[in-house]
Structure 1
Amino acid sequence: MVLRNVRVDVRHVFNGEYHFDEEMFVQGRKIITDGIRAVKASVKRENFEAARQKLGQIFHPLQDFYSHSNWVEMGNKLPNPNLIRSDTSIGKIADKSRATCRNCDGDDCTNNILEDILKERILISGYTSMLPIFASKPKGKCSHGGAIDRTSSIEPKGGINKDSLDASHGHLHTKAANMAIAATSELLEDIRQAAGDKTFLQMMGISKRSSRGLSFVINTRKSMSDDIETVRSITPLIINSDVGTENEPSLFILVPSNDPGFGKMIKTTDPTAFKNAINSLSANGGEDVEELSLSGLQLALTAAPSSSEIFLFTDAPAKDKHLKSTVIALIERTQTVVNFMITGSTALSRRRRRNDSKITASDMQLYRDLAHASGGQAIEVTKSELPVATSIITESSNSSLVTLLQAARSPGKADNFTFMVDETVTKLTVYITGRSLTFTLISPTGESQQSSDTAGSLITASQSVGNFQSLQLKTEAGLWKMKMVSTNTYTLKVIGQSPIDFVFDFVEVSQGPFAGFDVLDTRPQAGVNGSLLVTLTGSDSATVTEVALVESSGSGEVKGVVEPQASGNFLVHVDRIPSVEFVVRVKGQDGGVTPKASSFVFQRQSPINFRASNLIISAESNDILEPGTPFSVPFSVMTNGIGGNVTIRVTNDRHFDSTFPSSLFLETGKSVNGD
């Protein structure tokens, strides 16, 4: 919400209606009231991310009203309630021809608003222009004021804004700010009353339940009857262990997939309804070799909240392989972990059972690639082994899990890995997928244990099934080492439980007159410099000391320059965004939970793999869809790489008919528009 609020100053700096400048009160209120409609519609559909983004955007004009208008100067003690209503008068607005200000007395602008304007309680706001060539205003009108406002030197000179204590009307800055805070509360209260307490708290991310979702995408072909029975048996264990705790998912999603169709999606906040939906699944049909597994996964990704977890159960290849790039993009955007539970791989059996269409090596690689992109596992087991393998679900369904290390090697090779364990980490666990591999584990004290050594003390519990190994380690703070040896593809992931973690966004630092950051809606540009905004969670005393972009399948890394910001944020500049897949690694230091506690070093890593792009895509549209009215989404595409034809594919999750250019020709560095 904060970053979307800031974005208004980045993208709409010259649009007066977004700031209630130039007496654009009617237009400014329409932005707010239309936005409220969009927020309520999104909340009703439990699309909380869209609701948060729109709220952040409409906070900006709502708050600017009290700084840029004369509402405070008129002596009002309470916010204007009609700013969030479209069926009432916002107040008496000054005519275009009516003078509103006189010259300031030097730097003193305390009395530059004309007395009759205040006496008659007429709403006014200042005119502004940051470009000298366009600096003008109607005769007698107030200016916004300030060093960057070129109209403030045109009579009547000065300004009326209260943006800061040293602004033209800075003596009223605190009153205006408090009024803006109260108005923001009123808007949030209006949303709360429409949504209800429980839904409102979920939208705000303030809930006793975890903000994550739990989703199952299940192939329901006839050969999956055993798998479905396993899911039925483990679902109550997962749900019942988390009910009433902070680990209880905020949303449950079930997507059946088969052929020729997939869905209907079941989406509920009620764990009992979720269990009943799974119990009602039946296995039938699906005589075709391939199934629409990626279509079902795409549907779950569009419906799940950010930072969720999805488990896909199948024994068939994907019929819709063309959706791979779309699914990876959704994984990155939602930062959702996807685990694949595969029971049909030819690697498990040389014989094809009658109703069990096996997955070839290339089919399996597709699932591995998607799991790797999300930081999940692609677990290959027989149907009899699946109940054991599903224990990964109960282990990973915890909102306090953090990733200490994640890496993949394809093709496999011998490699050395390190990971830092700090004193807040508990339940230290290693996940390995791959076949015919060995490893050596070395603790911070130098003690080692081989993969073949069952009597060692570093591994307190282990479980191996199919291509998957799970190791519980003795929790010991310090730098651990792991030497992996295999010529086959493998993945390595080290997790633990800890309150300390991080969230981040790729951002673009504002180049305009206002300082700030704008969150990138697309992937960062490959091969050029970039920025990230990192926020630590779980500690008020922790600080970031290093941020690096680490190649997911190699040893290369790009370290950034860390600049502390306000409110516990850290702006990170890197001189190059890797052109290959990468993860974000954060190192930091915490002073301890008490004054006497010693400081310690910690390390965390993003579970999601990210990738850069040479394409820059932007899309803007109205937020309100009106029945029976065409909905236009203008977009632009530009490349800093090699030009040429690019294919355009547009989809929507409501199955609306749409038209769009099937391809566009790009020239390097030039933008091309479409609708």
Structure 2
Amino acid sequence: MALTGAPAFSHIYVFTDATAKDIWLKDTILALISSTKSTVVSFFMTSTGGRKRRSVTASFNDYRDLALASGGQAIHVTKGNLPEATDIILDTSTSALVTVLQRSRSSGSETFTFLLDESLRNITLYITGSQMTFTISNPAGVSQSNTQLSGGLGTIQSVGNLWRIRLDDDKQTGAWKIQMASAQPYTLKVTGQNTITFIYDFVDAFKGPHPGYAPITGRPQAGRPAMLLLSVMGREGPASVKVGEVGLIPVSRAGPVSKGSTTDMGNGDILVTVDAVPQGEFVVILTGTDSVSGSQFQRQSTTQMSISKVIVTAVADGSVEPGQTLSIPFSVMTEGSGGPCSINARNDKEFPMTFPMNVPLTTGQYANATLTITPPKDTPSGTGVTLTIMAKTSASTDSNYAVLRLSVVTKITDFVRPTCKVDRVAADDCPTDVSQCASFRWNLFTKLTDGKGTGIDRITLRQGDGVLSHDALTHLDIEASYNASCCSQIVEIVAVDKVGNVGTCFFSIAPPTIAPPVGPAPTVPAGGPPPLSLARPLWVSCLLLAAWMARS
């Protein structure tokens, strides 16, 4: 629900003290993480005893998989020391947060290097794991180990399985190192605050009258080059950043960067083509030079991606009516071995759906199928639905997905605005002398109706300082009354029906103002003023006389 309800690139924090009761949602959640590029940080809390260690370990591994896939952390703490671990929320909820390095390993010893540029602030390292040692070294060779909680490079805080290392503000720019040694799985992440960053999408090229590149849903296809479209931001706009290398790097194993060829598309957009995509999970890494400070920088994406031999495509028109069934055709293909392919689909509103549980696949050929979704009749118009279709081959763990976003929209057939009919006006008590109006009141009685429309949703005053009252809006014909001081002589009532059509009812007890007729200016004979003719209105004769006197 958080992944579908929050904007993309959000930080989502999960607090739980229980094992997962809906583990079948794991593949769907992994697909949504890849689609939204949101980061999940899990706080798994346990009591001091009374729970089987095997159950706790299995459940924590599930949360760790989700956190790792999103570039987050899975933090295992007791309920008593949870407050000490939540500093990570303050760290990650800050603005302009960037990732410099992200790695995970099952165990072993390894040295990781990372670049810190001059403009980075609030640099923090996060390590999750147990039974480990580490040593951090700056470019000048100054080191600090995990046993030195306050040393020459920063401050180390340890709680549960989380190590949080905040580097001092007077850190040195350049290449840093951290030596890791652990007998258990661990993760490493280096973050800081800076406006030099990037966002990206895997894209496919399309042709036609207006050729270009469109983002793909799901994982990139195996066996072909991967294309990415990056948008790079700098401290003073895209022009203040000079992009060096862009590539894909494995996260959970040692391996070289699969470098890509870059094409500058203008306005900070960079098209990257990677011919040799790494196997397994990988992230995007970018290096370059900050033209403002002249220092080199390094940035990584957080969401892990992988290639797949399975392709899932689905098309929907984007909307469905309450109580109506929408059919969504989708297709599945594999470049791997054929055979049965399992299908799993879910939506975040738990609307009823039908779809085939399995489809037979032949290598290189699309298998077509249909999914139906039916929102209940009482679903409010405007409800958003996120639908995920997962396809997994039976011969391996290879899978892919498609994510669709639909809207439940009530079909509008009412285009007629509400009408108003004045039944009676009681204004005889209002004096002709306006200086005495405050002591008297007048009433208006009217009837409003939406005819055969959807019904009136609300009735309000647009003009008038009086009191408006009306029958219940459930009535077809609604009687309304208005009571006001005789000093407030104008009223305008507005009625809006349930689909937004607006009708107005205007009434005034003010005496009409007679304006002179508009016409050509009168002419005065040269011999003198014209005689005052009884055939003319008196005001015309006066006007002619005044014009003659002004001329004389």
- Tell me whether the two structures share a fold, i.e. TM-score over 0.5: yes
Match status 1:337 vs 2:35: no
Shift of 1:463: 1.1
Confirm or deny: 8 A CA contact 2:149 2:156 kept in the other structure.
no
Per the alignment, residue 280 of structure 2 pairs with: 580
Q: Secondary structure at the match of 2:3?
A: helix
Per the alignment, residue 534 of structure 2 pairs with: none
Match status 1:316 vs 2:14: no
Per the alignment, residue 201 of structure 1 pairs with: none
The one-character-per-residue Cα deviations of 1:497-539 (angstroms, maximum 9, x if unpaired) are 0011100000112355643111112210124211000111233
State, as a whole percentage, how many aligned pairs show the same letter: 44
The 1-side partners of 2:81 and 2:54 are apart by: 16
Of 31, 43, 50, 1:352 maps to: 50
One-letter identity of the residue aligned with 1:562 = T
Per the alignment, residue 266 of structure 2 pairs with: 566
The 1-side partners of 2:278 and 2:328 are apart by: 31
Confirm or deny: 8 A CA contact 2:148 2:156 kept in the other structure.
no
Per the alignment, residue 370 of structure 1 pairs with: 66
Confirm or deny: 8 A CA contact 1:526 1:576 kept in the other structure.
no
- Relative to 1, partners in 2 of residues 1:358 and 1:389: Cα closer, same or farther, differing over 3 Å? farther
Match status 1:637 vs 2:335: no
Match status 1:448 vs 2:147: no
The 1-side partners of 2:223 and 2:101 are apart by: 24
Q: How do 1:431-446 and structure 2 match up within 5 A?
A: 431-446=126-141
Structure of larger gyration radius: 2
Shift of 1:454: 4.2
Per the alignment, residue 462 of structure 1 pairs with: 156
Per the alignment, residue 354 of structure 2 pairs with: 659
Per the alignment, residue 647 of structure 1 pairs with: 342
How many residues of Structure 1 are paired with residues of Structure 2 in the alignment? 364
**What TM-score, normalized by structure 2, do the two folds share?**
0.64
Per the alignment, residue 152 of structure 1 pairs with: none
Of 234, 240, 249, 1:550 maps to: 249
Shift of 1:455: 5.5
One-letter identity of the residue aligned with 2:84 = V
The 2-side partners of 1:546 and 1:402 are apart by: 18
One-letter identity of the residue aligned with 2:222 = A
Q: Secondary structure at the match of 1:343?
A: strand
Of 444, 450, 473, 2:167 maps to: 473
The 1-side partners of 2:74 and 2:232 are apart by: 30
Confirm or deny: 8 A CA contact 2:125 2:188 kept in the other structure.
yes
Give unmatched runs, 5+ long, in structure 1.
Answer: 1-298, 593-597
Shift of 1:445: 1.5
Per the alignment, residue 301 of structure 1 pairs with: 3
Confirm or deny: 8 A CA contact 1:315 1:358 kept in the other structure.
no
Shift of 1:649: 1.3
Per the alignment, residue 532 of structure 1 pairs with: 228
Confirm or deny: 8 A CA contact 1:549 1:578 kept in the other structure.
yes
Question: By percentage of residues, which structure has more strand?
Answer: 2
One-letter identity of the residue aligned with 1:545 = G
One-letter identity of the residue aligned with 2:35 = R
Q: How do 1:40-439 and structure 2 match up within 5 A?
A: 299-344=1-46, 349=48, 351-352=49-50, 359-410=55-106, 412-439=107-134
- Relative to 1, partners in 2 of residues 1:628 and 1:579: Cα closer, same or farther, differing over 3 Å? same
- Relative to 1, partners in 2 of residues 1:653 and 1:450: Cα closer, same or farther, differing over 3 Å? closer
Give unmatched runs, 5+ long, in structure 2.
Answer: 371-552
Confirm or deny: 8 A CA contact 1:530 1:574 kept in the other structure.
yes
The one-character-per-residue Cα deviations of 1:584-603 (angstroms, maximum 9, x if unpaired) are 111112211xxxxx522111
Per the alignment, residue 51 of structure 1 pairs with: none
The one-character-per-residue Cα deviations of 1:210-233 (angstroms, maximum 9, x if unpaired) are xxxxxxxxxxxxxxxxxxxxxxxx
Shift of 1:457: 0.7
Per the alignment, residue 520 of structure 1 pairs with: 216
Q: Secondary structure at the match of 1:372?
A: helix
The 2-side partners of 1:324 and 1:364 are apart by: 13
Shift of 1:568: 1.5
The one-character-per-residue Cα deviations of 1:196-244 (angstroms, maximum 9, x if unpaired) are xxxxxxxxxxxxxxxxxxxxxxxxxxxxxxxxxxxxxxxxxxxxxxxxx
The 1-side partners of 2:46 and 2:105 are apart by: 23
One-letter identity of the residue aligned with 2:274 = V
Shift of 1:543: 2.6
Confirm or deny: 8 A CA contact 2:100 2:299 kept in the other structure.
yes
One-letter identity of the residue aligned with 1:462 = I
Per the alignment, residue 298 of structure 2 pairs with: 603
Match status 1:493 vs 2:193: no
Confirm or deny: 8 A CA contact 1:558 1:578 kept in the other structure.
yes
Per the alignment, residue 671 of structure 1 pairs with: 366
**What TM-score, normalized by structure 1, do the two folds share?**
0.52
One-letter identity of the residue aligned with 2:50 = R
The one-character-per-residue Cα deviations of 1:328-379 (angstroms, maximum 9, x if unpaired) are 111111111111111127xxx5x317xx998422221111111101111111
The 1-side partners of 2:258 and 2:285 are apart by: 10
567-576 vs 653-662, which deviates more? 653-662
The 1-side partners of 2:138 and 2:216 are apart by: 40
Confirm or deny: 8 A CA contact 2:310 2:335 kept in the other structure.
yes
